[in-house]
Each structure stands twice: as C-alpha cells, then as structure tokens.
C-alpha cells in the first residue's frame, strides 16, 4: 500500500471514530435531559452546564486528533524529501571520490554560506508546514467549515456580523429585516431585552451567573438591576438568557445553528413562519463566542 493510500485510510478511520463519538455523546445528552424534572430550574441549569462541558471536551479532543494526524502526515512528507535529498548527496559524493582524487574535497566559504542558507530555508519551510496544519485543523477553522456545511445543506449561507459586543442583537435585527418585520436596531433590541428582564426578575435572576460570587450565590436585586442597565446601555455580550428574552419579546422562535450537536431553538411555542436563524461560534474570536446571521445561499458569493 502506498504512503498516500495509507494516509487516506487513516483519515477515513479517524472520521469514522469521530462520528461514533459524536453519536455516543448525543445519546448521553438525551439521557441527561431525561433526568430533568419539569419545573426543576436548578437541575436544568446543572444539566445544561454539563452538556456544554461534554460538547467542549469532545470538540477539543477531536480537533487535537485531526491536528496530530495532519502533522504526522506533513512530517512523513518532509522525511521522504529528506531521504531523497540525502540519496542525491551520497551519489554526488561517490562520484567525486571515484574521480581518483584521494584528498577530501575542500568546501569553499561560498559553498558553506549556500549550505547554511539552504538549511535555514529548509527549517523555515518545515515550520510553515507545521503552522499550516495547525491552522487548517484548528478549532476556529473546523468550526467555521462545519457550520458552513450545515448551512449549505439547508440552502443557506453565513451573513457576517461585526464582533463588537452587539453581535447577538445585530444578528437578530438582520433576521427581522429579512422576514419583513418593523426595522429595529441593536439599541432597540437591547432596551426591549432589559425592560423584559426587569419586569420578570423572578424568572431570570436564578439563571444569570453572579460574577462577583465564588460560591454560586444568586445576584442581589441591586446587582440584577446593574446587569439590566448593562444590557440596555453597554456593549455587554448577549448569551442564552438574552436569546430567550428576545424570543419572548419578539414573539417568534429563534434557532441557533452550531458546529456540534443539534440546533438550539427557543420560542417553539410561537409561529414557525417567523422563525429567526442565527449561527453560534465558540472559537470565532479570541475574546469569546460570536453570533452571525444567515441568508439564502447564493453561489460564488459566500466567501466574498
């Protein structure tokens, strides 16, 4: 079997293993969800956090597996090239010695400089190959490609939203525009979200993380009010709670497509013809997660 065929077989085997791992994880997630009693908000929060942790761990493991395989393939290719170079070098040395000159050939300073330059270039190329492998199979690129594949199957494509802290609200605003609703910008949506949070403190306070506590204490009323002020007046990033609020305020379902696992949907009790669709990225930017919007697929324009 050729090296190329062997490499292809290893890739296919790894893909099959990863597919089984994801299937097993989904089965485990379904079992975890069944343990949640209706109305048990604390248990629901714990299970949700456990699911996110399991998905993240599997994603990291599979990304590491792919990167390691790619690197091993790249190193094998480099090694083969080195063997070929060594063979040519040995042939030249033999030819020189066969000319009858028993004295070792002197290497000029110019030749030494050339060899030093060639070795430096060779090392540089190896580093480039290694970095390209890491980039190609890095978490960010794998996530982007996975979501792109999911969208393409649904005749959709990504609509990029700036990463400025307002991405959730701007993505929702873009979707509202697509379905012909009244135009609302991110400021409008932030204010509506903050007002709804204030009016329904008992429903949302238990699910908002208290960053000022180290022992899972709930926010105080004053801290909750400050949280609402930040939602309305700053570029504070919006997450699952704000997504739920937006669905309630706008009275429409919101579907969130992610790279791993089934799409996450809130507001399923509302009219499905007004459904908004977003994409969620855990590794898009170093600062944290990110939301984009989507549009209908148009050939040759999705990468523009």
Told to judge if 91 belongs to the known catalytic residues of this protein, a careful annotator would answer no
Name the active-site residue from 167, 174, 228, 283.
167
CA contacts within 13 A on the Cβ side of 56: 10
**Quick check: 270 and 252 in contact, CB under 8 A?**
yes
Told to judge if 228 belongs to the known catalytic residues of this protein, a careful annotator would answer no
Told to judge if 174 belongs to the known catalytic residues of this protein, a careful annotator would answer no
Q: What is the DSSP letter of 266?
A: E
* CA gap 20, 213 in Å, rounded: 39
Q: Which residues on adjacent β-strands are paired with residue 156?
A: 296
* CA gap 195, 186 in Å, rounded: 14
Q: What is the DSSP letter of 192?
A: H
Nearest CA to 160 out of 277, 263, 299, 291 is that of 291
**Quick check: 144 and 284 in contact, CB under 8 A?**
yes
Which tokens hold the place of 230?
């930040």
Nearest CA to 167 out of 249, 285, 251 is that of 285
With helix as H, strand as E and coil as C, how does 123-182 read? HHHHHHHHHHHHHHCCHHHHHHHHHHHHHHHCCEEEECCCCCCCHHHHHHHHHHHHCCCC
Name the active-site residue from 40, 91, 164, 185.
164
* CA gap 10, 18 in Å, rounded: 12
Residues with a known catalytic role: 164, 167, 290
């Amino acid at each position: 079997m050729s090296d190329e065929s062997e490499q292809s077989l290893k890739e296919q085997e790894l893909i099959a293993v990863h597919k089984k791992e994801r299937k097993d994880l989904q089965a485990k997630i379904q079992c975890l969800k069944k343990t949640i009693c209706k109305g048990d908000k604390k248990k629901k929060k714990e299970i949700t956090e456990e699911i996110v942790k399991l998905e993240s761990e599997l994603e990291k493991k599979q990304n590491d597996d792919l990167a390691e395989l790619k690197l091993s393939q790249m190193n094998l290719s480099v090694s083969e090239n080195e063997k070929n170079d060594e063979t040519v070098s040995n042939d030249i040395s033999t030819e020189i010695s066969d000319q009858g000159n028993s004295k070792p050939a002197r290497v000029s300073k110019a030749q030494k400089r050339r060899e030093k330059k060639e070795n430096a270039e060779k090392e540089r190329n190896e580093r480039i190959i290694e970095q390209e492998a890491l980039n190609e199979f890095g978490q960010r690129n794998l996530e982007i490609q996975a979501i792109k594949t999911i969208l393409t199957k649904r005749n959709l494509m990504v609509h990029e939203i700036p990463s400025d802290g307002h991405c959730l609200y701007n993505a929702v605003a873009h979707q509202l525009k697509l379905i012909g609703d009244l135009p609302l910008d991110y400021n409008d949506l932030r204010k509506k979200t903050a007002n709804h949070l204030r009016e329904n403190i008992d429903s949302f306070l238990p699910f908002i993380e208290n960053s000022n506590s180290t022992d899972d204490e709930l926010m105080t009323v004053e801290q909750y009010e400050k949280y609402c002020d930040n939602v309305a007046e700053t570029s504070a990033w919006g997450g699952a709670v704000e997504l739920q609020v937006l669905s309630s305020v706008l009275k429409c379902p919101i579907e969130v497509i992610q790279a791993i696992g089934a799409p996450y949907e809130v507001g399923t009790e509302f009219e499905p013809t007004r459904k908004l669709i977003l994409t969620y990225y855990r590794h898009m930017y170093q600062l944290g997660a990110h939301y984009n919007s989507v549009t209908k697929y148009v050939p040759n324009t999705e990468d523009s």
